[in-house]
Amino acid sequence: MTGKAKKVSQSGIVLAQNMLPPDANAAGNVHGGTIMKLIDNAAWTVASRHTGMNAVTASLDRLDFHSPVYIGNLIILRASLNRAGRTSMEIGVRVEAEDLRTGEVRHTASAYLTFVALDEDKKVVPVPELLLETEDDHRRNTEANARYEARKEALKARKKG
């Protein structure tokens, strides 16, 4: 592994951005693709903070939209590292939308992304160990390990089929 081990709290971030007319369709709903890009940017930031290197998206697991986001909403992305393997990292991103007029906050989307770190030659390199501090960190790590194993099994099945 490269670099010094880091705590979940050292890599996690909260990003917020107002949703404006260019982010939405004619009905005022923010495009799913706009939200996807923000999710990817938040996850990239976490991966880069953890490794101190450039990182790239290797996969996206489950992007579930729970409720719409509208023009004028403040979108809040909470991203944290759930798992650090030898060369890959799983980052979870929770998306919320706040109606600034009413103060109502809705959970609008969730996603899990896998990132890898790259060296100067754009080769995948080992990532720093993840230090788990809280019960929530341990729970998320356990769930992430189960998703990792499921992804490995699915990949094996696809290669056989």
- Write out the chain's pLDDT in tens, 161 residues: 457 899 999 999 999 999 999 999 999 999 999 999 999 999 999 999 999 999 999 999 889 999 999 999 999 999 999 999 999 999 999 999 999 999 999 999 999 999 999 999 999 999 999 999 999 999 999 999 999 999 999 888 888 87
Q: What pLDDT is recorded for position 1?
A: 47
In angstroms, the CA 66 to CA 5 distance is 34
**What's the whole-model pTM score?**
0.93
In angstroms, the CA 8 to CA 159 distance is 34
Question: Domain segments of the chain: what residues?
Answer: 6-160
CATH 3.90.400.10 assigned to 6-160: no
Look up residue 20 and give its two tokens.
């404006």
Q: What pLDDT is recorded for position 2?
A: 59
Q: What pLDDT is recorded for position 82?
A: 98
Identity at 71, one-letter amino acid code: I
Pairing of strands 105-118, 88-98: antiparallel
Q: What pLDDT is recorded for position 3?
A: 75
